[in-house]
């Protein structure tokens, strides 16, 4: 079944959903389907239960950080130049709003096909970082959504046990974000090596600690 057919089937069975096919220009050609968070659980349930799809296994869940960026484009406008109206070219700059993305790879163990790849995006990277958890549909997403929460900061509403899984309790920030800055000293380092020890020495010097 093509992704276009899957898209049509979802639209027919999940009223009001918003879908977009995202093309992949790489040789793998693994195109994906962006789904709207409001209908995500209903879409996931349909994909799991519907014949002939039966996408009963979520093999992988990954996070992506898309920071905001400045886009420059040349536009032609009319301006008065020495009293004469002329068409001139100007550079117009706009700032895009960054967001976080979660990607699910789905397979059917029963039908032996896949993957079908789903994407969901948060509204931004600051306060509106909530997405619905798909763990109630695919239990294998539980630890992977926790990892994305830990490393990227996506808050999965409806997750049964949303807490850090790699970093320790009390750790600040999210290390897989593209603008993450490592601290100059770690409160906890299980296997200190030369680089970490040197950073700790510099930190003590700055803080005036012997």
The answer to whether residues 115 and 191 belong to one domain is no
Average pLDDT over residues 73-87: 82
d(CA 161, CA 149): 11
The answer to whether residues 195 and 162 belong to one domain is no
Indicate whether 155 belongs to any domain.
yes
Average pLDDT over residues 87-105: 90
The answer to whether residues 107 and 163 belong to one domain is yes
- What does the pLDDT read at residue 200? 74
* Each residue's pLDDT tens digit, 105-143: 999 999 999 999 999 999 999 999 999 999 999 999 999
- Which of 121, 117, 147 is CA-nearest to residue 132? 121
Return the DSSP state at 20.
Answer: E
The answer to whether residues 53 and 133 belong to one domain is yes
* Each residue's pLDDT tens digit, 176-195: 999 998 876 665 555 667 77
Indicate whether 71 belongs to any domain.
no
d(CA 196, CA 131): 35
Output the pTM of the full model: 0.81
Q: Which residue has the higher pLDDT, 46 or 182?
A: 46
The full length of the chain comes to 210
């Amino acid at each position: 079944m093509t992704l276009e057919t899957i898209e049509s089937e979802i639209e027919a069975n999940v009223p009001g959903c918003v879908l977009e096919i995202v093309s992949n220009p790489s040789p793998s050609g693994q195109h994906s389907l962006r789904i709207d968070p409001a209908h995500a659980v209903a879409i996931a349930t349909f994909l799991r239960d519907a014949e002939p799809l039966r996408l009963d296994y979520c093999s992988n869940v990954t996070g992506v950080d898309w920071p905001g960026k400045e886009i420059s484009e040349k536009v032609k406008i009319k301006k008065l130049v020495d009293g004469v109206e002329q068409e001139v070219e100007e550079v117009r700059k706009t700032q895009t709003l960054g967001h976080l993305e979660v990607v699910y790879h789905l397979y059917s163990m029963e039908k032996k096909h896949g993957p079908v790849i789903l994407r969901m995006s948060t509204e931004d990277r600051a306060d509106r970082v909530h997405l619905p958890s798909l763990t109630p549909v695919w239990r294998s997403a539980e630890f992977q959504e926790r990892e994305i929460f830990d490393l990227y900061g996506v808050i999965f509403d409806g997750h049964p046990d949303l807490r850090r899984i790699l970093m320790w309790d009390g750790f600040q920030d999210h290390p897989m974000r593209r603008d993450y800055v490592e601290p100059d000293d770690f409160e906890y380092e299980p296997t200190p090596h030369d680089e970490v020890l040197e950073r700790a020495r510099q930190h003590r010097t700055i803080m005036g600690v012997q």
